[in-house]
């Protein structure tokens, strides 16, 4: 039970996602619609606007067994213990099942590898998934094996204490280090895409550092302060330096380029149980190194 003293007018689903560890906006909506969240003892709609003094009571049901077929898909695991694992996802692999991608996903592979040892906080479609990266982005992902670990890790993400470092090759000459501070929301027309100042925008901050200049391209080291959907890709396109190979927000993928040049190369966080800081790194994938070789030859 939570007593609201933070102010008035905020939507209930948004407030839950920002104030309860392990609760995403979509999960908050599902719980409200299922009657698992009440205000002053009464069921309300997801768009209910909170008032000072409201008593919010939330019940999180036990996780349902995931109706996902385990698949024996090789995983590049960089760390694993009884609470969590870190997997190095290849470019082209979808993180969780959805319409059009019901098999061959990272979750299918995790179900085979971990069996029942995955957290249930994010529901039956996304067991263990603490955060995501795009299908065509490669690199490191945190996976929670139990709700204790999931709550801790998602709390660290919300407090912006998790280090998430990416490497990217972008178009054009980025002259100096910088920060993009521009809110992101759903595109007003193309709802599968995100846009700066789109629908219901949320603050989004991306820091970038110039590593090397090439002819018509720049290698960047990027750190996320927030973690919005497609954040790096949209922010880089917004400043006129789209990620090479980005077919949605960029200029498309040239035939000679094998993939989108964005790699989640470093994760740093506090281990939920030991409370020690951990940092895991992943080398650039082969297609990324191949592109850098071609760019060096063009100098």
Asked if 171 and 292 sit in the same domain, the reply is: yes
Asked if residues 117 and 127 have their Cβ atoms less than 8 Å apart, the reply is no
Quickly count helices (H) and strands (E) in the chain: 6, 16
**Which residues fall within 8 angstroms of residue 75, CB to CB, at 6 or more apart?**
87, 106, 109, 110, 113
Dump pLDDT digits (tens) for 222-249: 999 999 999 999 999 999 999 999 999 9
Listed residues 38, 58, 78: the one ending a domain: 58
Query: Tokens standing for 39?
Result: 């205000």
Asked if 91 and 168 sit in the same domain, the reply is: no
Asked if 83 and 8 sit in the same domain, the reply is: no
Exposure class string for 113-137: b at 16+ Cβ within 10 A, else e: bbeeebbbbbbeebbbbbbbbbbbb
Report phi then psi at 202, rounded to 5. -120, 150
* Domain-located, residue 241: yes
Q: Which residue has the higher pLDDT, 62 or 241?
A: 241
Unique residue bearing structure tokens 């008035």: 8
The kind and range of the H/E element at 42 are: strand 42-43
**Which residues fall within 8 angstroms of residue 82, CB to CB, at 6 or more apart?**
117, 145
Lowest mean pLDDT: which of 40-44, 101-105, 167-171, 180-184? 101-105
Asked if 146 and 251 sit in the same domain, the reply is: no
Lowest mean pLDDT: which of 28-32, 144-148, 197-201, 225-229? 28-32
Query: Tokens standing for 56?
Result: 């919010």
Dump pLDDT digits (tens) for 236-295: 999 999 999 999 999 877 666 777 899 999 999 999 999 999 999 999 999 999 999 988
Asked if 219 and 124 sit in the same domain, the reply is: no
Label residue 296 exposed, middle or buried (CB < 10 Å: 0-12, 13-18, 19+): exposed
* Domain-located, residue 259: yes
Asked if residues 29 and 70 have their Cβ atoms less than 8 Å apart, the reply is no
Asked if 88 and 9 sit in the same domain, the reply is: no
* Domain-located, residue 226: yes
Quote the pTM value.
0.77
Catalytic residue positions? 134
Asked if 54 and 67 sit in the same domain, the reply is: no
Listed residues 127, 158, 189: the one ending a domain: 158
Asked if 219 and 114 sit in the same domain, the reply is: no
Asked if 126 and 232 sit in the same domain, the reply is: no
CATH number of the domain to which 36 belongs: 3.10.290.10
Number of folded domains that form the chain: 3
* Domain-located, residue 91: yes
| Containing structural domain, residue 21 | 2-58
* Domain-located, residue 283: no
Exposure class string for 7-20: b at 16+ Cβ within 10 A, else e: eeebbbbbbbbebb
């Amino acid at each position: 039970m939570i007593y609201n003293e933070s102010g008035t007018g905020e939507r209930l689903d948004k407030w839950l996602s920002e104030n309860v560890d392990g609760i995403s906006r979509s999960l908050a909506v599902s719980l409200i619609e299922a009657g698992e969240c009440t205000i002053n003892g009464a069921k309300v709609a997801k768009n209910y606007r909170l008032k000072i003094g409201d008593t919010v009571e939330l019940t999180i049901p036990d996780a349902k067994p995931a109706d996902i077929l385990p698949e024996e898909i090789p995983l590049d695991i960089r760390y694993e213990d009884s609470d969590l694992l870190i997997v190095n996802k290849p470019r082209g692999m979808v993180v969780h099942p959805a319409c059009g991608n019901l098999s061959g996903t990272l979750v299918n592979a995790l179900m085979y590898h971990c069996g029942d040892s995955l957290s249930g906080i994010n529901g039956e479609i996304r067991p263990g998934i603490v955060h995501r990266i795009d299908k065509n982005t490669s690199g490191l992902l945190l996976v929670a094996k139990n709700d204790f670990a999931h709550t801790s890790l998602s709390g660290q993400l919300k407090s912006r204490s998790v280090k998430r470092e990416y490497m990217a090759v972008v178009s054009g000459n980025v002259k100096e280090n910088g920060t993009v501070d521009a809110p992101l929301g759903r595109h007003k027309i193309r709802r599968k895409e995100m846009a700066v100042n789109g629908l219901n925008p949320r603050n989004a901050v991306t820091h970038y550092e110039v590593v090397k200049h090439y002819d018509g391209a720049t290698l960047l080291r990027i750190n996320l302060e927030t973690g919005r959907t497609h954040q790096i890709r949209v922010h880089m396109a917004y400043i006129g330096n789209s990620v090479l190979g980005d077919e949605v927000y960029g200029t498309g993928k040239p035939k000679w380029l094998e993939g989108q040049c964005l790699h989640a190369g470093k994760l740093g966080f506090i281990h939920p149980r030991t409370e020690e800081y951990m940092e895991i790194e992943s080398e650039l994938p082969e297609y990324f190194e191949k592109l850098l070789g071609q760019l060096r030859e063009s100098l």
